[in-house]
Amino acid sequence: MKFWLIWVFLISIVFEGARPAGAQPNVLTYHNNNLRTGWNADETVLTLQNVNWKTFGKLFTDPVDGQIYAQPLYVSRVRIHGSFYHVVYVATENNSVYAFNADHAGYPLWHDRFTTRSLVPVSFKDVFGCRQITPIIGITDTPVIDLITHTMYLVSMVKTVSLHPRFFQILHAIDIRTGKEKDGGPITIQASIPGGVQGSRRIRFKARVSNERCGLFMDQIQDQSIVFTAWSSHCDQGDYHGWVIGYNAKDLHQQRYVFNVTPHGTEGSIWNSGAAPAIGAKGHIYLVTANGTFNGFVHQDWGDSFLKLNPESSGVLKVIDFFTPYNQSKLNEEDQDVGAGGVVLLPRSYGDSQHPHLLTGSDKTGEIYLIDCHAMGGYHEALKENEIVQEFHVGARRYNASFTTPCCFDSWVYWSMVGSPIRAYKLVRAHYAPYPTSWTPERYAYPGCVPSISSHGRVNGILWAIQVGNPAILRAYNASNLGDEIYNSLEAPHGLDSTGAPSDKFVPPTIAQGHVYVPLQKRLVVYGLRSF
C-alpha cells in the first residue's frame, strides 16, 4: 500500500478516538463506526426544534424485493452514470443490493441480485426449519464499505437448484458506483483448522449450518486491509462453531485469518444480534460469544466470553485477553448467554485515568457488564464473582432480557431491554450511575430495539428507535431526557407518516444529512423535513 494511504488510515484511527464516536457524515459500517456507538455527531439538519410531526415526517418509500436484516449504509457524492448522488445502500434476504438516491424517490441507481438459475436463496426449511429469518435467507449481514477503493463487501447465502442441494456462503466485493464485482470476488467461503484432542481431526466450516448474522468489518493489519466475517448458527442447530474469517480486501482469494471459537468443543456462536465486532485504535478486535464449550487458555474454547483478539502478522487471531462470567456454566445450561447482543467500545471521555478504555455488553438475563479493555477480568469460578470494573442488573428480571446493542451520546449509554422502556444511564468516573437518568414512556416488546443517535457535536441529541409492531413505529426522543418524545410516526393526521409495514429484528435506523432511513419488510421508508 502506498505510504499516503497508510497515513490516511492512521489519521482516521486517531481521529475516531479523539472525537465523539460517529462523527462522520457517511455511514460505512454497522452502527456508524468501529466502536459501534450508533452515534452520528455530524447531523446539522435535524434538531430538537424541527423534529415534530408538523415539520418532519415521511418523505417517500423505496420498495425492495425481500426482508431487510442489514442496516442501510449511506455515502455522499457517489459518481453514478456520470452524475453525483447521495446514495443509500440496501441489502435484502433475496440476495439483492440496491443503490437508491438518498434524497428522492425513484428507480434504483443500480440493483444487483446475486443469484442465478442454478444458485438461489436458501429457504428457512433448509436450515432445520429455523424461523429466525423467514421465508428465505440471502444477505443477512450489514455490509462494510471501503470509501478509499469505493468497494462494498457482503456475504450472500445460496444453494444449488437440485434434489440434493449444496449450500454456499459467498463473499462479494462490489463497486459502490456500479454494483459490479471486483478484487477477485466473488469467492466461496471455506475454512478448516486442526481440532479435537491434540489436533486429531479437522474442523471444517459448514456453509449450511453457518449464519452470517454479524455485520462485516474491516481492520488495517500491517500494510493490508482485511475484511472479516463472523459466524453464528441457525437456531443452535447442527454441528456448528463460531468462526472469524478474514480475507485480503485487495484480493479475496487470499484468506489471511481463521479463528474458531471452540476448536476442541462445540458451538460458541458469534450472534451479537446483527452487530459487527468492535475495532480498537490499535486494531484489536473485540467480540462476545454465545453458548458453547468453555475452558479458556487451557484448550482455547471460548463459549460465553468477551474476547480481545490480536491479528498477528503470522495469520493468527490470538486471544490476548478475555472476560468470562464466573457463572458461565449456568448461563450456558439455561441458554442465558452473553453473546445475544453486541459490544460497544465507549469513547475515551467515558473513562478515567484508571480505566481510560472501556467496553460494555450484557447477557440475556439483563446483566450489564463494564469491562476495562486493558484488564478484561478473566474467569473466576472459584471466587463466585467477576473481577471487572462494574456489573449490575437492569430492573426486574422477568422483563429485562437483553438481545440488543446499546448506543451512546455525550456521557450516556442507552439500553433497550425486552418489555421495558429504553433507559439512559450516565457514566461518571468510569462507572455507570446506579439509576437511569431518564427513560421512555413506551415499553419495547421482544427483542427490544437497537437505537441510534444523531446530534451536532453535543447539542441537539436525538435518540431514534424503531418499535416492533405492525406497522412498525419510528420514534424520536430528546437524548438528554427520554421522557420527552418529540416525534413518532403515528402522530400525523390520516396516517400520513405511517411506516405501513412491520419491522425486522435488530435493525437500527440510519441517520445521515437530514434523513432517517428506516428498513422494514420489503421497503425502505425515508423520513426528513417536510417541504412546503
Quickly tell me which residue has 416488546 as its cell.
445
User: Residue 200: what pLDDT?
Assistant: 66
Distance, CA of 179 to CA of 112 (rounded, Å): 6
pLDDT of residue 68: 97
CATH architecture of the region 3-529: 8 Propeller (2.140)
Q: What is the pLDDT of residue 6?
A: 40
89 secondary structure, DSSP code: E
| pLDDT (0 to 100) of residue 14 | 36
- Give me the residue spans of the domains in the chain: 3-529
Q: What is the pLDDT of residues 488-526, one digit of tens each?
A: 999 999 999 999 999 988 999 999 999 999 999 999 999
Distance CA 273, CA 290 (A): 11
5's enclosing H/E stretch is helix 3-18
pLDDT at 400: 76
| Residue 397: per-residue pLDDT | 54
SS3 category, 493: helix
First-last CA distance in the chain: 50
Q: CA 451 to CA 474: how far, in whole Å?
A: 11
Q: Per the structure block, which three cell numbers stand in for 438? A: 431518564
pLDDT of residue 15: 34
Average pLDDT in the 471-480 region? Answer: 98
The residue type of 232 is: S
Q: What is the pLDDT of residue 396?
A: 57
Q: What is the pLDDT of residue 313?
A: 84
Q: What is the pTM of this model?
A: 0.94
Residue keyed to cell 463497486: 175
DSSP class of residue 126 equals G
- What's the average model confidence in pLDDT over 179-208? 90
CB 91 within 8 A of CB 154: yes
Residue 23 has pLDDT above 70, yes or no: no
Mean pLDDT of all residues in the chain? Answer: 93
Q: Which residue is associated with the grid cell 480486501?
A: 249
Question: DSSP secondary-structure letter at 416?
Answer: E
pLDDT of residue 399: 57
Query: What percent of the chain clears pLDDT 90, i.e. is strictly above it?
Result: 88
Helix (H) or strand (E) holding 329: helix 328-333
> Parallel, antiparallel, or unpaired for β 438-439 and 422-428?
antiparallel
Q: What's the CA gap between 526 and 516, in Å, rounded?
A: 6
Of 13, 30, 21, whose CA–CA distance to 350 is shortest? 21
SS (H, E, C) 184-219: CCCEECCCEEEECHHHCEEEECCCCCEECCCCCEEE
Q: What is the pLDDT of residues 245-288, one digit of tens each?
A: 999 999 999 999 999 999 999 999 999 999 999 999 899 999 99
Cis peptide before 471 (omega within 30 of 0): yes
Residue 297 has pLDDT above 90, yes or no: no
CB atoms within 10 A of CB 124: 18
- What radius of gyration, in Å, describes the C-alpha atoms of the chain? 22
CA atoms within 13 A on the CB side of 465: 35
Q: What is the mean pLDDT of residues 47-72?
A: 98
pLDDT tens sequence across 107-129: 999 999 999 999 999 999 999 99
Answer whether residue 222 shows pLDDT above 80. Answer: yes
Looking at the predicted structure, is the pLDDT value of residue 8 above 50? no
**Whether the predicted pLDDT of 406 surpasses 60:** yes
Q: Interior CA angle at 342 toward 289 and 525, to 5°?
A: 140
Q: CA quadruple 141, 177, 59, 42: dihedral positive or negative?
A: positive
Amino acid at 458: R
Is the predicted pLDDT of residue 13 greater than 80, yes or no? no
Residue 60 pLDDT > 60: yes
d(CA 292, CA 278): 21
Using one digit for the tens of pLDDT, what is the confidence trace for 364-400? 999 999 999 999 999 999 999 999 999 998 865 555 7
Q: What is the residue whose three cell numbers read 439483563?
A: 366
Average pLDDT for 308-337: 94
